[in-house]
């Protein structure tokens, strides 16, 4: 607070000083936010100090009259509202109240009209079949009659012909005969089945205008009975002609100590037509009976001679490719 020094010799000076102090106090209250009571006490103390310091001691005057009560100071500025506190946690739920008393029973309503009769119920399940009764005791067997006399045995029938059997001689087993050929037969020759990458060995019998031969050495089967045989030729040509091929066969057996160079049995021939499509396998009809020379028997060696006779009028103008020969025997 500013300090002012006054001449305290007159009451008017005292009043003037008090008024100015009040004005200064109001200014400080508004600017400094100082409590009004505190400021008045400080101003009064300052005035008394200045009065005692600057006023010469004189005779004690008479007690003055009590001054009038000063005006109430201006109310101080209201402070800012503080930050609201954090809301407390919700308290635990209170216990459930006791259930109220049950209400009185209502008046019984009038009896309703009788309902319509319900539909007939479904038939009950059929009961299980009762157990089968006990089988009665078997009666006493009757006495067996006397056996009749055995009849005379019938005459034994004649033995039937033996079932025919077969074996196959592939073309790869044949070799060209060295002499006696009109042309130049060849065997075995590989034929390329190009579309499906296959291969077939054949014996080539040329269209020479005469006879050309192939030979194969086999063993007669162990169940061979020594009789005649028949043959079926499997063959083809690389031509579309539908003309014929005439094929023949003869054979000679060899036993222990037999000469290797001996005559063949009588040759038998069959004529077969081509289908008209190149490289289509043909199967001839079976030949008539072929007699193997030199007493053939099971287990003996047998030289088989096949040939083509291309001198016939309807002969194919192409090389016959022998695929193999099927032999039927008993």
Distance CA 154, CA 12 (A): 189
- Is residue 149's pLDDT more than 90? no
DSSP labels, 263-321: -----EEEEEE--SSTT--EEPPPPS-BPPBS---TT-EEEEEEEEETTSTTB-SS-EE
State the average pLDDT over residues 199-218: 97
Distance CA 81, CA 39 (A): 25
Q: Read off the pLDDT band of 92 (50, 70, 90).
A: confident
pLDDT, one tens digit per residue, over 26-39 is: 665 466 555 656 65
- Is residue 87's pLDDT more than 60? no
- Is residue 76's pLDDT more than 50? no
**Could you identify the residue written with the tokens 């216990």?**
95
pTM of the entire predicted model:
0.54
Q: Hey, what domains does the chain have and what are their CATH numbers?
A: 11-53 (no CATH), 165-329 (2.60.120.260)
Q: Per the structure block, which two tokens stand in for 34?
A: 């100082």
Distance CA 182, CA 211 (A): 6
Q: For a pLDDT cut of 70, what percent of the chain falls above it?
A: 63
- Is residue 77's pLDDT more than 70? no
**What does the pLDDT read at residue 189?**
97
More confident position, 86 or 178:
178
pLDDT, one tens digit per residue, over 125-148 is: 766 776 876 877 877 877 877 877
State the average pLDDT over residues 49-59: 53
- Is residue 6's pLDDT more than 50? no
CA angle 147, 152, 157 (to 5 degrees): 135
- Is residue 154's pLDDT more than 50? yes
Q: Which residues, at least 6 apart from 174, have a Cβ–Cβ distance to it below 8 Å?
A: 187, 188, 203, 214, 215, 216, 306, 322
């Amino acid at each position: 607070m500013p300090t002012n020094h006054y001449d305290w010799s007159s009451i008017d000076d005292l009043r003037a000083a008090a008024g100015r102090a009040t004005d200064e106090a109001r200014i400080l209250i508004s600017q400094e936010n100082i409590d009004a009571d505190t400021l008045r006490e400080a101003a009064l103390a300052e005035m008394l100090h200045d009065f005692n310091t600057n006023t010469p001691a004189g005779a004690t005057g008479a007690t003055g009259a009590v001054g009038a009560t000063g005006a109430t100071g201006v109310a101080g500025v209201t402070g800012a509202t503080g930050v609201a506190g954090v809301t407390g946690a919700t308290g635990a739920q209170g216990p459930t109240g006791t259930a109220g008393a049950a209400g009185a029973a209502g008046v019984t309503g009038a009896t309703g009209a009788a309902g319509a009769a319900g539909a007939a119920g479904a038939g009950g399940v059929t009961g299980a079949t009762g157990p089968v009764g006990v089988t009665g005791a078997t009666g006493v067997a009757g006495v067996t009659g006397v056996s009749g006399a055995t009849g005379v045995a019938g005459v034994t029938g004649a033995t039937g012909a033996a079932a025919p059997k077969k074996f196959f001689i592939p073309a790869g087993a044949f070799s060209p005969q060295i002499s006696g050929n009109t042309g130049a037969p060849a065997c075995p020759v590989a034929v390329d089945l190009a579309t499906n990458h296959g291969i077939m060995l054949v014996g080539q019998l040329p269209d020479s205008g005469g006879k050309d031969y192939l030979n194969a050495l086999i063993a007669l089967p162990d169940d061979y009975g020594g009789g005649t045989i028949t043959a079926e030729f499997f063959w083809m040509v690389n031509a579309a002609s539908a003309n014929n091929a005439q094929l023949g066969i003869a054979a000679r057996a060899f036993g222990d100590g037999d000469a290797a160079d001996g005559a063949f049995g009588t040759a038998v021939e069959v004529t077969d037509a081509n289908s008209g499509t190149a490289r289509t396998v043909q199967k001839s009809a079976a030949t008539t009976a072929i007699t193997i020379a030199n007493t053939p028997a099971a287990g003996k060696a047998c030289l088989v001679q096949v040939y083509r006779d291309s001198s016939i009028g309807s002969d194919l103008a192409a090389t016959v490719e022998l695929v193999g020969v099927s032999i039927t025997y008993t």
